[in-house]
Structure 1
Amino acid sequence: MISKLLATIRKEIWLLLRDRVGLSILFLMPMILIFVMTMIQDAAFKTLNEKGIPVVFVNQDRDSLGSMIEYGLRNNDLCTFYDSIDGQPATLESAREAIADGKFLIGIVVPAGATAAIRENVTALIAETIDNSGDTTHTDPSKVAVIDSVEISILIDPVTKKSFITSITSNLREFISEVKTKIMFETFSKEIAEIIPDNNGKGPSNAFQRTQIIRYNEEYASRTSDTVVPNAVQHNVPAWTIFAMFFIAIPLCGSIMKEKSEGSAFRLHTMPTSYLLLTQGKLIVYVMVCLIQFMLMLSVGLYFLPMLGLPKLVLGHSMAGIAVLTIATSLAATGYGVLVGTLASTEQQGAIMGSLSILLLSALGGIWVPTYVMPEAMRQISVFSPLNWSLDGYYQLFLRQGGLSDILIYSLKLFLFFVITLGCATAINKWKRRV
């Protein structure tokens, strides 16, 4: 039995070595694919992170509101701040013209007297409140100050994404709210100090500057202290490695078809050996091919992509998890290749069936486009793709810094897929032999 297995392994290795074009497809094309797709999608992932939006700022206010917005934009990673155009201070007209020419995506213009208008409205509102002493029945509606009467102009390039505009406007609202709160606090404190002065005769006018009630802290949810930011490398290297592994279904199917066309399959069936034993040699050889593919793809992410100025692939902390998941993915890919080769009647039929089905499974599995940017209906369908199981497992290891226990469920799914496809291939082969 061992001699038969070794003979089938030797046969498959010689078939692979003789097919130089097939070897180049198996090893070189996936590496080129990773280079090309990572370079293309790098800008897209930067866009998803929304960093460095070019913004030109025109401060006509020269007071608290203008200063607060300018300070916030200058110290925010969201945008790249500009307050001058071609060496000259930005104005409303020059900013509008520059944005129309595509030099900036967004322009922000704070009008003159904006802070004074807010201060006047807040002062009037507080004075009205204190004068009425909480009794709103005697309030004259015509005397109530109109809040939010300041108009800040936002100039937008037509090509700007809606998410960029939403991010900028939400930041502006935060700055304006902070200025209004500060002015209200200071004005209210002065009014109270006039009625009930403190021991030093000074109101707490500077208390707002010394106290910040709410602060924000952003962090990525991870079980370790390390933070890995999602980028094109972290997605494309595992994604297209998985695609390359499953793409061996085509040469594996071709090997099975060649045996059928040359008549060697018929001679093998006459031997007192099960179909499963005959396919074990193919399984072992092509699992080894998958493992070699994985090592080559990892070397691309670790060494070659950083040479192009792209981020280095972060593998996480669980080498055991990577090994188990990679072996499970290799088994699932080879099992699927055997099933396609058993179903197909001709080599052309097998090539079409294998390539189209793998393209469909990879598209559904999040290989081309991450599942988190898919519509909800497509996300629900994607959970049935074995490529999605493998990709989610690598996400757990590379992005979420998970361990072996975190990818066991994905590995079990892939191994079960391997068993089912191999079982179906055996049953179909028996049925075809009877026919």
Structure 2
Amino acid sequence: MIAAIIKEFHLLSRDLHGIAVLFLMPMIFMLIMSVALSQSDDVNQNSKIALVGDASNPINLLLIDELKNQNNIHVDSIELIDQDAAKVQLIQNHYDILVINPNTTITDLTHDAPLQLVSLAGTDALRLLNLEAILQKIYLQYRLPYLLTQQNSVPEHQYNTTQNIILEQQLANFLTTNIIVEEFLNTNGLVVVKPSSVQQSVPAWLIFGMFFIMIPLSNVMTCEKQTNTIIRLKLAKASATRLLFAKLIPYFIINQLQFLGMILLGIYVLPLVGIAGFVLQGPYWFYMMLSIAISLSALGYALLVSVLAKSAEHAVVLGGGGNILMAALGGIMVPSYMMPETMQTISLISPMSWALTGFHNLLLNQYNFTQILPQWLSLICFACIFLSLASAIYYRQLNKRYI
């Protein structure tokens, strides 16, 4: 028994890289997730809000004062006649959300128009729900006493009169109708359909899945090293460039099939289980170009891991751990808007963050391809750098084995 235990420790000592990754990866992952979620309970996250309403309506002053008392909410006041200009400022990201009160005076509840919550399509749904709850609370606190004052003004002997019945009906209608309505704009200022959670989650897990092309590619590469297939390929006078292209093309096709499969699953399968279907907004070729850039980045990372790994197990631990860390940083596991500002800046180093931002901008904000060029070019540059490094290392390994 003791000899068997010593043997296992001896075998483990031969894979110090794997042991180091097993200890370091969970520690780093825990640190990233802890920092990323450190402010998740504060959904306001320095929200910039403009209350658009008539200055003569006292409820607008009340709403502004109450919103300013909320943590991390910055509120400006804009006149109702300038609401079009306010929407332009929203599109230009000067504000996160507009709260529009179309009521110019305090009237009876039957004539009250609902408050309008206007935001861009990509705005965090949790932030909107939180603000909506705050507004409902403030509005009800003000309007219900107004109604009750009217009701109390009715003489006791007239409680069963038509006037009292009308007041009760107003109260019932007020409590059953929408006090707040939501409106979503794209970057062109056009009203769009409210984005579902599917629209936000499918791109994230699609990108995450594409980067795991590293597993089959690394298995093939390490198998070639262990079986000396590389030497036989070199004896056949196959160039390193051609060998790499021959390897990458099949995996590139697999990535595109992954992309297409996830999209089709979201469109056709999710509605069958009672979930809102996935909808592509804008020309399909925008998504094709983005898919190509994501795939090249994933293949560049996968190839570099594959040529550096000494075994298939080493590649899985190193590459898989790297993928998880990039996903944690890149907003795949925790949306970036829930992270502290410093963490949001750090997340920009992750290629998954670039891919997700580009995808969401196409899908939710309905950008054109020119507007996502920064993310697209970042992915292409990442792919070129990593593919070049991997190619240089593979060329050296090929020649060393031949010698």
Instruction: Identify the TM-score tier after normalising by the shorter chain.
Output: 0.5 to 0.7
Question: Is residue 219 from structure 1 mapped to residue 219 from structure 2 by the alignment?
Answer: no
Cα distance between partner residues in 1 of 2:127 and 2:203:
30
The Cα of 1:377 is off from its aligned counterpart by 2.6
Partner of 2:218: 253
Query: Which whole-Å deviations, capped at 9, do the CAs of 1:253-285 have from their partners, x for residues lacking one?
Result: 111111111111122234544322211011111
Query: Which whole-Å deviations, capped at 9, do the CAs of 1:162-196 have from their partners, x for residues lacking one?
Result: 99888545433334445778999xxxxxxxxxxxx
Q: Aligned pairs, how many?
A: 248
8 Å CA contact retained: 1:321, 1:407: no
- Closer, same or farther: CA 168–246 of 1 in aligned 2, 3 Å: closer
- Closer, same or farther: CA 166–238 of 1 in aligned 2, 3 Å: closer
User: Equivalent of 2:231, from 242, 266, 270?
Assistant: 266
Query: Which whole-Å deviations, capped at 9, do the CAs of 1:265-312 have from their partners, x for residues lacking one?
Result: 122234544322211011111110001111110111101111111111
* TM-score, length basis structure 1: 0.52
User: Equivalent of 2:245, from 277, 280, 299?
Assistant: 280
Question: Is residue 326 from structure 1 mapped to residue 291 from structure 2 by the alignment?
Answer: yes
Partner of 1:429: 394
Partner of 2:262: 297
Question: Is residue 370 from structure 1 mapped to residue 296 from structure 2 by the alignment?
Answer: no
Point out which structure has higher relative CO (alpha carbons under 8 A, 6+ apart).
2
- Closer, same or farther: CA 284–349 of 1 in aligned 2, 3 Å: same
Partner of 2:3: none
- Closer, same or farther: CA 164–351 of 1 in aligned 2, 3 Å: closer
2:185 is paired with a residue whose SS is coil
Cα distance between partner residues in 1 of 2:130 and 2:292:
45
User: Equivalent of 2:382, from 417, 422, 434?
Assistant: 417
Cα distance between partner residues in 2 of 1:302 and 1:250:
27
1:219 is paired with a residue whose SS is strand
2:223 is paired with a residue whose SS is helix
- Closer, same or farther: CA 256–219 of 1 in aligned 2, 3 Å: same
Cα distance between partner residues in 2 of 1:163 and 1:419:
40
Give unpaired runs (5+ residues) of structure 2.
1-42, 45-125, 150-178
Q: Give the 5 Å matches for 1:12-411.
A: 168=133, 170-178=135-143, 218-222=182-186, 223=188, 225-411=190-376
Cα distance between partner residues in 2 of 1:236 and 1:419:
28
- Closer, same or farther: CA 163–323 of 1 in aligned 2, 3 Å: closer
Query: Which whole-Å deviations, capped at 9, do the CAs of 1:320-351 have from their partners, x for residues lacking one?
Result: 21110011111111111111101111111111
- Closer, same or farther: CA 226–311 of 1 in aligned 2, 3 Å: farther
Query: Which whole-Å deviations, capped at 9, do the CAs of 1:204-253 have from their partners, x for residues lacking one?
Result: xxxxxxxxxxx987532312635243432112211111111110111101
The Cα of 1:428 is off from its aligned counterpart by 2.2
1:220 is paired with a residue whose SS is strand
Identity %: 35
Give unpaired runs (5+ residues) of structure 1.
1-47, 50-160, 185-214
Query: Which whole-Å deviations, capped at 9, do the CAs of 1:67-119 have from their partners, x for residues lacking one?
Result: xxxxxxxxxxxxxxxxxxxxxxxxxxxxxxxxxxxxxxxxxxxxxxxxxxxxx
8 Å CA contact retained: 2:183, 2:194: no
Cα distance between partner residues in 2 of 1:295 and 1:163:
32
8 Å CA contact retained: 2:183, 2:191: no
1:383 is paired with a residue whose SS is helix
Moved over 6 A (4+): 161-166, 179-184
Q: What is the CA RMSD across the aligned residues, in angstroms? A: 3.2
Cα distance between partner residues in 2 of 1:365 and 1:330:
16
- Closer, same or farther: CA 165–384 of 1 in aligned 2, 3 Å: closer
Which residue identity does 2:183 align to in structure 1? E
